[in-house]
Structure 1
C-alpha cells in the first residue's frame, strides 16, 4: 500500500470523526447541518482528486485545488485533537442527564472561527519569512580569526505551492544579507513542478563569493537523486553527497547523504569516513535530518546545521516533533559542538504555519 493511499485512509477517517461532531453540534439545525455537510464533503474530495489525478487538471486549477485541499486537511487534522479533548466532558454531561443545556450552535461557531483564524493567520505567517541572526565563535581564541557571513536555509520545498515568485522572494532576502557563502540544508525541492514553474531557476540568482552549497533532503530522494542533483547543479549549486570541501583555507564544509537514501538501498557513510584524516581545520557539517547528534560531537565537528523538522509547522505536531528529536528547533550544544536546527523557510503540504515563523538564518561565524 503506497504512502498516498495510507495517508488518504487516515485523512478520510479523521474527516468522518469531524463529520460526526458536526452532526452532534447541529442536531437541532437540520437545514444548516445539511448545507455544512454537503460543503465539507465536497471540500474533503478536493485533495484526493488533486493527489491521484493531477494530470487531468489544468495547471492553475490544480494549484488552487491543492492550496484549498491541503488547508482543509490541516483544519481537519488540527480539529481532531480538540474534539478528542472534549469527549470526556461530553460523556460526563451525558451521564449527568439532560439538566445541562449545551450551547451547540455557539460551540460550532467558535470552532469555525478558530479554523478561519488558523487558516488566515497561518497563511500570512507561512508566506512571511524573517531573517534570524545567530553568532557562533569557532575560533577557540585564535588571534587571527575571521568572521564569515554564512546564510543558511532549509526546507524551501520549491514546487506547486512554493511558486517561482515565493522562491524569488527568498532569493532576494538571501542576497540582501550579502553572504560570503550560502548553505541549503535539504528539501530545497518538493516536486517536479519546481522545474515547470521556473521556481528552481530562481536559485541561480543567489550570489555568494565563496560559493553556494547544498545537501539533499528526504524530499529530493523521493523525487529521484539524479533529477534533484541535476536541477540543483544546473543553478550553480555544489551538492555535497557524503563529501567535504575546504573553504577559503579556513574551514572544512562537509555534507551528508540523508537517512532517506538508505530506504532505496543507497549508502550513508560514517561521518569519520567523510572527513579527511589529516584535517586540522574547523568542520561545519550540513546534515538535513537532526538524528544522532552525538555523531558530530564524536567527530569533533565545530558546527552542524540541520532542518527537516519544520518545528512541527502546525499545532499540535510541534509537540510530536519535540518528542521525536533531541533538538527540534534552534541553537543547541553538545560538548564542544554547536548545532542549529532550522524550522525552514518554506512549507510542506498546507501553505500554513502556526508553530514558528519561516526563516532565513544569517550566521556570523568567527573561525
Structure 2
C-alpha cells in the first residue's frame, strides 16, 4: 500500500466544476475560520491575513480534484470544523449551563474540530479494515424443495489500500459457510495490483470450497485501459495474463455467457459496460432459451445498471457491486439523490436487485459509508 499519492487518484475533467465550487466554499470558510482562531495571537493583522490566505488557497487547491485523498481529507476537516461551530453555537445560545467554559476555548483554537476530524478518520480506517458477511434470504417457486446459497464477492482491489490478510481471513470464514455457488463480481484486482499479487488472489479465491464452482465477471478496473491508470501509467499484467490467472485457478469466466446449475439455477454473466458505458455486449434475452425461464435466473453484472432490461427479460435476481456504497461521505448521498442504486436490496416487481458495497474499496484508504462485506444469498 502506498499512501504518498495524495493528489493522484485519477483526474476527470467532467468533475472539475464540482471541485471548483467546493474549493471556493471551503477556501472562503478556511480564510475566516483561521483568521478567527488567531484573534488572540500577537501576530500583526497583515500576518494573520497572509497565513489565513495561504491556508485558504491550499484548501481550494486540495478540492480541485475531488477524486483525491487531498479532497476527501480537506472535506472532512471542513465538516469537522462545521460540527464544532454548531456545538459552539448550541453551547452559547441554547444551553443555560455555561459551566463548560472549555468549549469556546477548544472551539476557537480549532482543537474541537481536530478532535472530530480524528474521530472521522479513525472510524474510516476501521471501516476499511474490517469485513463482515451480509446475508439475504429469498424465496421462489422455481426450484421446488431445493435451496441454494450464492456467495458474492466484488471490489477487492487486491493489495492496494486494504491489508491483504483480510482476504485470507474472509476466505476462511467463507469456507465455513460452505456455499453452493461462488461468484466473483469484478474488480478483484485493479491497475495498481502487482502481477504476483494478481495471481495470488485468484489462486486463493479458486480454492474456496463450493458445490458448483467459482465464477467470474469482469469489472471496470481489472481490465482498465492504460489511459485511466491513476498512478503508474501502465498495469503490470496483460488481459491475457489476467485471464490465464483466473482460469488456471479453476475459476470459470462468464463474459456474456450463461451456465445452468443443477437444472434449477441459470447464471448469466454480463460483460462490464465499461468506463463510459460504451462497451458493446450481448442482450440478456439473446443468451437465454425458452426453457431457461422455468428456472431461477440470476444476472451477474458488475455495475448495477440496465435494471429495466433485466426486469423486462423475466430475470429473478440481479447481483452487482461497483458502487462501494459510496465508500466515503457524501458520495452515497449524491448517488441516492440522483436515483442510483448504491447499496442493499431493491425490489422491482418480481425481480430482486442486490448491490454489494464490496470486500474493500478503491483509492481512498478509508471507508465510512456502509461496510466492507461479502454477500451470502440464500435462495429457498
* Structures share fold, TM-score greater than 0.5: yes
User: What is the aligned partner in structure 1 of residue 157 from structure 2?
Assistant: 157
User: What is the aligned partner in structure 2 of residue 132 from structure 1?
Assistant: 134
The 3 A distance-change label for structure 1 pair 24 and 199 is farther
Match of 1:267 among 280, 292, 295: 280
The answer to whether the 8 Å contact 1:311/1:328 transfers is: yes
- In structure 2, distance between residues paired with 1:6 and 1:24: 33
The 3 A distance-change label for structure 1 pair 4 and 350 is closer
User: What is the aligned partner in structure 2 of residue 314 from structure 1?
Assistant: 328
The 3 A distance-change label for structure 1 pair 85 and 192 is closer
The 3 A distance-change label for structure 1 pair 21 and 186 is farther
Q: Quote the RMSD (CA, aligned, Å).
A: 3.8
User: What is the aligned partner in structure 2 of residue 249 from structure 1?
Assistant: 263
The 3 A distance-change label for structure 1 pair 27 and 320 is same
The answer to whether the 8 Å contact 1:291/1:325 transfers is: no
User: What is the aligned partner in structure 2 of residue 106 from structure 1?
Assistant: 107
User: What is the aligned partner in structure 2 of residue 75 from structure 1?
Assistant: 73
Secondary structure of residue in 2 paired with 1:171: helix
- In structure 2, distance between residues paired with 1:320 and 1:201: 37
Q: Deviations over 1:311-349 (max 9, x none)?
A: 211221110111344432211211211111111121112
Secondary structure of residue in 2 paired with 1:267: coil
User: What is the aligned partner in structure 2 of residue 332 from structure 1?
Assistant: 346
Match of 1:216 among 218, 225, 239: 218
Measure how far apart 1:240 and its partner are: 0.9
Secondary structure of residue in 2 paired with 1:332: strand
- In structure 1, distance between residues paired with 2:120 and 2:275: 35
User: What is the aligned partner in structure 2 of residue 57 from structure 1?
Assistant: none
Measure how far apart 1:122 and its partner are: 1.3
User: What is the aligned partner in structure 1 of residue 170 from structure 2?
Assistant: 170
After TM superposition, the structure 1 stretch with the greater mean CA deviation from structure 2, 10-19 or 345-354, is 10-19
Q: Deviations over 1:240-273 (max 9, x none)?
A: 111101112211100111221666x641222211
- In structure 2, distance between residues paired with 1:194 and 1:308: 21
Equivalent runs, 1:1-367 vs 2, <5 Å: 4-6=10-12, 14=23, 17=27, 20=31, 23-28=34-39, 29=41, 70=69, 73-80=71-78, 106=107, 108-140=110-142, 144-197=144-197, 198-222=200-224, 225-260=239-274, 266-279=279-292, 280-366=294-380
Higher helix share: 1
Measure how far apart 1:3 and its partner are: 8.3
Measure how far apart 1:283 and its partner are: 0.6
The answer to whether the 8 Å contact 1:26/1:105 transfers is: no
The 3 A distance-change label for structure 1 pair 262 and 4 is closer
Secondary structure of residue in 2 paired with 1:122: helix
- In structure 1, distance between residues paired with 2:11 and 2:185: 29
The answer to whether the 8 Å contact 1:14/1:77 transfers is: no
The answer to whether the 8 Å contact 1:136/1:365 transfers is: yes
The answer to whether the 8 Å contact 1:246/1:253 transfers is: yes
- In structure 1, distance between residues paired with 2:275 and 2:288: 20
User: What is the aligned partner in structure 2 of residue 98 from structure 1?
Assistant: none
> Is there any run of 5+ residues in structure 2 with no aligned partner, and where?
1-7, 86-102, 226-237
Measure how far apart 1:212 and its partner are: 0.6
Q: Using structure 2 for the length normalisation, give the TM-score.
A: 0.72
Q: Deviations over 1:174-198 (max 9, x none)?
A: 2121111111222211234243344
The answer to whether the 8 Å contact 2:127/2:372 transfers is: yes
Q: Deviations over 1:12-38 (max 9, x none)?
A: 98498276466334333588x97xx89
Q: Using structure 1 for the length normalisation, give the TM-score.
A: 0.75
